[in-house]
Structure 1
Amino acid sequence: MHKSAAAKDAAQVQRNMEAFLKAEPACAEFTDQCSICKVDNGQAICSTPSIARIRKDYVCTRKSGE
């Protein structure tokens, strides 16, 4: 059984987010210009992306302690 395209995309997004957070451990808030995410107790909590979106690379918008 093959994964759907949406499931593959979601899995890739999760891997990208995990890699970003490992590379930016001090990041407290970030965005991919689709969703805005906040790190709470080591877990990313993100807004629901809009329907019309073009996902970009994650960018840290606020570091811890700022």
Structure 2
Amino acid sequence: MFPEKELTEKDLAEQSAKKENLIKMYERKFETKTESELKTIADEKSGYVDEAKIASKNILKNKYVL
């Protein structure tokens, strides 16, 4: 019905920055979680948003060497 608005490079950069900020926020929030809690969050079927899954995977890589 409505034509799709084409995303400009600026729009894409802003989306990317927002996503990075969300991931960082989740990393701070999850840093005290145990390895098993992080693995549960990182699971594809966990129901968490993608940014939370990425953050938990990042912590697992850095902290527990996944």
Q: Same fold (TM over 0.5)?
A: no
Larger strand percent: 1
Point out the structure with max Rg over C-alpha: 2
Q: Bin the TM-score by the shorter chain.
A: 0.3 to 0.5
TM-score (structure 2 length as normaliser): 0.44
Larger helix percent: 2
